[in-house]
C-alpha cells in the first residue's frame, strides 16, 4: 500500500478511484465534502509544510483502496473538521446528513483519547473505543487509516513525538488492525513503527535482504513458477502470489526463535488463490506431495474460521536444502475478506454492496467482543482482557491469585515460573494448568491459569534449556548450571591446563595459575580453571597469560609463507575456516581481493560457490617439511556422561602431543555429552592418530571432524545458501 496523497489532490482523482468499483457513487456529495473540507482547513498546514487538507485526502484514498462506501470516504474527508476548524456537528449534519455527522463526531472523540496514558485511564479509553466500534465500525476504519497516513509521514514530527506515536501504534493500533482481520494494515503499521523505534535493526534486515537477492536471485519468482507448474499439471487453476515478509515480522521471528537472519527459514510467504473451496484442498494435496510438510505448521481456517471471518489453509513446506516457505491457500472471496477483514462488510463492487458469504456482520462481531470485556469491572482486568484478544503474538496467563503474566507465544510453564521470580523457576518441579497437572514442556495458551509446584531441593536441569522459550528463563538456567558445574569445570580446567602447559614444557602449578589469574583479572586460580573448563577461556589464553614468549614463539617459529607451494610472488595465504586443510591433504587456492589466497581442502563443499569463476582457482600443494608445527582442527566428540571421562579425553589428546585450545558443549543430555574441540596439531596424519585413539576409548561414542561450509566467510555470505523449495 503506497501513500496516495499525490494522486488524490483533486476531487476528480478521488472520484476516478471510487468509480472503478462503485459506478453508482454519489459524486455530488463527495465533491461537496471535498470542497467543504478544503474550505474549513484553508490556511492550516501540517508539520511538513504541506496544506493540512492533503491529510484527509490521503485518508480517503487509503479507504477507497479498500473499496469502501461513500459515507466512509466522506467521513475521512471531514474527520478533522469538527475538532480543528470552526465547523460544527450541526453544520455537518445539515450539509451531509445525521449518519455522516455521527461518524465524524465518533472519529473526533477517538482522536481525543490518550491511549498511551496510565493503565486506569487507558482501560477507560479502551472501553470508549469499543463503545464507538459498537455504534459503527466505520469510525475505527477511518481512525486506522488516519493513523496509517500519519505514520507514513511521521518524519516531519519532533523525535520525541515520533517515538510516542510509534509506541502507541505498535501497542494499540497495529494489534487492533490485526484483530479486525486487516493483516496488511497491521504489518505496515508495525513496520512503520519499527522504523522509528529501531531504525538500525530495520536497516540491518533490509541490507541482508538485498544481499540475499544478489546471492540467490529472484527466489520468489522461482518458487512461484515451480508451484504454478505443479498445480497446472494437476489441472488446478490458481493465482499464485509470493512476497518477502516485512522487516518487523522477520525481526520478531529472530527475537522469538533466538536465531540470526541466516538461520531463519520462512522469510518468504506465498498465497495460492483458487476458484473453489474444493480446489483449495486439492492444491494442498499437490503441494504436500511435491514438498515436505513441516510438522506442527498446518492450520485449517477454512473448516474452522476465525471470528473476524478469516478463512484460509496455512501450511509450511520444506525443500531438499531444508529451507522453509509458508503457503496460504484460499478462494478469491476468502482472499477479499483476508485483505479487508471486518471492513469487507462495506465493500462495493460494480456499484453494489459486495455480497461476500465470508464477510462477518460487524455488529455481531463487536457485540461478542463487548460481551467478553463487559464482565470485567476492574480497569486492569478489563485492559488485560482486551490485550488477550488483540495480541496474537503473545499469551497472557494468570497466577492462582489472578495476576497476569505476559509471555511470548510458545512459552511453557517453566517460562511462566521464571517470569514470576528466578527463585520460583529454579525450584520448579511441576505445573498445573487450569487445575490439571501437565508436563513442563506444555505450550501455554491465552487465558490459562498456571500454578507452579516447587521443591526446596530442586535445581535447574540441562534439559530445561530445550524446554524454555524466553531469554530470561534460558539465561537464568545457564547461570544456575554454571554455578552447579563449577566443581566439574574446575576439574576439567585442570586437565586442560595440565595438557596445555606440558605442551610448552612447563607445569600448571598453583603459583602459575595464580599468576594467570592476576594477568586475566580473575579471582584466584580456581576461577581460571572454572573459566577454562566452561570454555570462557581457551588453554592458549591461560598459558599466554603466564608464558607469553612461549606461545608466541610456538606460533611463529617457521615462516608460514613458505608452507604452501604454487602461489605467485609475494602472495599471502590463509587457511579456510570451513574445511581447515592440514598438511598431507590435497589443497586448492581461491583468490580473494584484499586477502590474497584462501586455501581449501580439495573436497571442501564451499568450493561449489566458485564453479563459475575458474579464473580464481590456483593449484596448490603443501611443501614437505616446511609447514608450521601448529595447525588447528575441530572435532565433534560424543562421550558418556560418567565421572572422569572428560579428563581421560584430555589426557589422551595430550599424550598424542596435541593441545586442546578450545572446548564447548554443543549438547548435554542425562546420558551423554557432545563436545566441539579445537585441537592444535601438526598435520593430517597427526589428526588421524588422535581420532583413532579417541575412537578406541570405550566411553567415546563418536568422533568426527567438524567441517561447515557456512564458516567460509569468503565464499558463503552471512545469509547462507540459496533458498528454494
Active site residues: 83-84
Of the candidates 201, 184, 198, the one whose C-alpha atom is nearest the C-alpha of residue 243 is: 184
* Cell 584430555, located at residue: 650
Residue 156: C-alpha distances to residues 28, 46, 81, 187, 587 (Å): 34, 8, 22, 22, 58
Of the candidates 429, 387, 426, 423, the one whose C-alpha atom is nearest the C-alpha of residue 405 is: 387
Of the candidates 655, 649, 658, the one whose C-alpha atom is nearest the C-alpha of residue 685 is: 658
**What DSSP letter does each residue of 648-701 carry, written as one string?**
HHHHHHHHTT-EEEEEEEEEE-SSEEEEEEEEEESSHHHHHHHHHHHHHSTTEE
Q: What share of the chain is helix, strand, coil (3-state, %, to 5)?
A: 50, 15, 30
**Element housing 146 (H / E):** helix 138-152
CB 517 within 8 A of CB 525: yes
CB 583 within 8 A of CB 627: yes
**What DSSP letter does each residue of 252-299 carry, written as one string?**
HHHHHHT--GGG----EEEEEEESSHHHHHHHHHHHHHHSEEPTT--E
How far from each other are the two terminal CA atoms of the chain, in whole angstroms? 28
Q: Supply 30's cell numbers.
A: 463527495
Residue 317: C-alpha distances to residues 228, 264, 291, 313 (Å): 15, 14, 6, 13
Q: Supply 213's cell numbers.
A: 537477492
Of the candidates 365, 368, 345, the one whose C-alpha atom is nearest the C-alpha of residue 357 is: 345
Residue 641: C-alpha distances to residues 128, 138, 690 (Å): 61, 64, 21
Cα 313 from Cα 329, distance rounded (Å): 5
CB burial class (10 A; 0-12, 13-18, 19+) of residue 665? middle
For residue 123, give the DSSP letter: H
- Residue 175 CB partners (closer than 8 Å, separation 6+): 186, 387, 390, 391, 392
> How crowded is the C-beta side of 523, counted as CA atoms within 13 Å?
0
**Element housing 327 (H / E):** strand 324-331
CB 238 within 8 A of CB 271: no
Determine the Cα angle at 64 with ends 58 and 70, to 5°: 110
* Cell 498446518, located at residue: 298
Cα 159 from Cα 154, distance rounded (Å): 9
- Residue 304 CB partners (closer than 8 Å, separation 6+): none
The number of angstroms, rounded, from the C-alpha of 483 to the middle of its chain's C-alpha atoms is 31
Cα 587 from Cα 573, distance rounded (Å): 12
Residue 421 CB: number of other CB atoms within 10 A? 12
Cα 303 from Cα 307, distance rounded (Å): 12
The number of angstroms, rounded, from the C-alpha of 610 to the middle of its chain's C-alpha atoms is 31
Cα 276 from Cα 589, distance rounded (Å): 57
Amino acid at each position: 500500500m503506497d501513500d496516495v496523497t499525490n494522486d488524490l489532490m483533486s476531487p476528480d482523482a478521488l472520484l476516478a478511484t471510487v468509480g472503478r468499483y462503485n459506478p453508482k457513487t454519489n459524486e455530488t456529495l463527495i465533491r461537496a465534502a471535498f470542497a467543504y473540507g478544503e474550505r474549513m482547513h484553508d490556511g492550516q498546514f501540517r508539520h511538513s509544510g504541506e496544506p493540512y487538507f492533503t491529510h484527509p485526502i490521503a485518508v480517503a484514498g487509503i479507504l477507497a483502496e479498500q473499496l469502501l462506501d461513500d459515507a466512509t470516504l466522506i467521513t475521512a474527508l471531514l474527520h478533522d473538521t469538527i475538532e480543528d476548524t470552526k465547523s460544527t456537528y450541526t453544520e455537518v449534519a445539515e450539509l451531509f446528513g445525521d449518519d455522516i455527522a455521527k461518524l465524524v463526531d465518533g472519529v473526533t472523540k477517538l482522536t481525543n483519547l490518550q491511549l498511551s496514558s496510565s493503565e486506569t485511564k487507558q482501560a477507560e479509553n479502551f472501553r470508549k473505543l469499543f463503545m464507538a466500534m459498537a455504534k459503527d465500525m466505520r469510525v475505527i476504519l477511518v481512525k486506522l487509516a488516519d493513523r496509517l497516513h500519519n505514520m507514513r509521514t511521521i518524519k516531519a514530527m519532533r523525535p520525541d513525538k515520533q517515538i510516542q506515536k510509534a509506541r502507541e501504534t505498535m501497542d494499540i493500533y497495529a494489534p487492533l488492525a490485526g484483530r479486525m482481520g486487516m493483516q496488511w494494515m497491521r504489518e505496515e503499521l508495525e513496520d512503520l513503527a519499527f522504523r522509528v523505534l529501531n531504525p538500525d535493526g530495520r536497516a540491518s534486515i533490509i541490507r541482508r535482504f538485498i544481499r540475499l537477492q544478489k546471492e540467490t536471485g529472484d527466489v520468489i519468482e522461482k518458487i512461484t513458477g515451480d508451484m504454478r507448474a505443479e498445480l497446472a499439471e494437476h489441472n488446478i487453476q490458481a493465482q499464485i502470489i509470493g512476497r518477502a515478509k516485512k522487516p518487523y515480522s522477520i525481526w520478531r521471528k529472530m527475537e522469538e526463535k533466538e536465531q540470526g537472519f541466516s538461520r531463519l527459514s520462512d522469510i518468504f510467504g506465498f498465497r495460492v488463490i483458487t476458484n473453489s473451496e474444493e480446489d483449495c484442498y486439492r492444491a494442498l494435496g499437490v503441494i504436500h506431495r511435491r514438498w515436505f510438510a513441516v510438522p506442527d505448521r498446518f492450520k485449517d481456517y477454512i473448516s474452522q474460521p476465525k471470528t473476524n471471518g478469516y478463512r484460509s489453509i496455512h501450511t509450511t513446506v520444506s525443500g531438499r536444502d531444508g529451507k522453509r516457505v509458508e503457503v496460504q491457500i484460499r478462494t478469491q472471496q476468502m482472499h477479499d475478506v483476508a485483505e479487508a477483514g471486518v471492513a469487507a462488510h462495506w465493500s462495493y463492487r460494480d456499484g453494489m454492496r459486495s455480497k461476500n458469504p465470508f464477510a462477518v456482520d460487524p455488529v455481531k462481531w463487536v457485540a461478542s467482543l463487548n460481551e467478553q470485556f463487559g464482565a470485567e469491572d476492574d480497569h486492569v482486568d478489563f485492559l488485560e482482557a482486551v490485550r488477550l484478544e488483540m495480541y496474537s503474538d503473545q499469551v497472557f496467563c494468570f497466577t492462582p491469585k489472578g495476576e497476569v503474566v505476559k509471555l511470548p507465544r510458545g512459552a511453557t510453564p517453566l517460562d511462566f515460573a521464571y517470569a514470576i521470580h528466578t527463585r520460583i523457576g529454579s525450584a520448579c518441579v511441576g505445573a498445573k494448568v487450569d487445575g490439571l497437572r501437565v508436563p513442563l514442556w506444555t505450550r501455554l495458551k491465552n487465558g490459562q491459569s498456571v500454578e507452579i509446584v516447587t521443591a526446596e531441593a530442586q535445581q535447574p536441569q540441562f534439559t530445561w534449556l530445550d524446554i524454555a522459550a524466553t531469554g530470561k528463563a534460558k539465561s537464568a538456567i545457564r547461570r544456575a548450571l554454571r554455578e552447579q558445574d563449577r566443581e566439574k569445570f574446575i576439574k576439567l580446567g585442570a586437565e586442560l591446563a595440565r595438557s596445555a602447559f606440558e605442551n610448552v614444557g612447563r607445569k600448571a602449578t598453583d603459583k602459575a595459575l595464580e599468576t594467570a589469574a592476576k594477568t586475566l583479572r580473575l579471582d584466584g586460580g580456581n576461577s581460571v580453571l572454572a573459566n577454562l573448563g566452561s570454555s570462557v577461556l581457551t588453554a592458549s589464553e591461560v598459558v599466554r597469560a603466564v608464558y607469553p614468549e612461549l606461545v608466541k614463539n610456538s606460533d611463529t617459529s617457521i615462516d608460514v609463507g613458505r608452507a604452501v607451494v604454487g602461489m605467485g610472488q609475494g602472495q599471502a595465504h590463509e587457511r579456510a575456516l570451513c574445511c581447515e586443510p592440514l598438511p598431507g591433504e590435497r589443497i586448492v587456492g581461491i583468490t580473494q581481493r584484499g586477502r590474497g589466497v584462501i586455501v581449501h581442502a580439495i573436497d571442501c563443499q564451499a568450493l561449489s560457490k566458485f564453479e563459475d569463476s575458474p579464473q580464481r582457482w590456483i593449484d596448490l600443494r603443501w611443501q614437505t617439511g616446511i609447514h608450521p608445527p601448529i595447525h588447528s582442527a575441530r572435532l565433534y566428540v560424543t562421550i558418556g556422561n560418567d565421572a572422569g571421562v572428560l579428563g581421560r579425553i584430555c589426557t589422551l589428546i595430550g599424550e598424542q602431543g596435541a593441545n586442546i585450545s578450545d572446548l564447548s558443549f554443543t549438547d548435554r543430555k542425562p546420558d551423554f555429552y557432545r563436545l566441539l574441540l579445537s585441537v592444535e596439531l601438526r598435520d593430517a596424519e597427526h589428526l588421524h592418530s588422535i581420532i583413532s585413539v579417541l575412537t578406541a576409548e570405550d566411553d567415546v561414542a563418536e568422533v568426527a571432524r567438524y567441517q561447515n561450509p557456512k564458516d567460509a566467510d569468503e565464499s558463503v555470505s552471512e545469509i547462507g545458501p540459496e533458498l528454494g523449495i
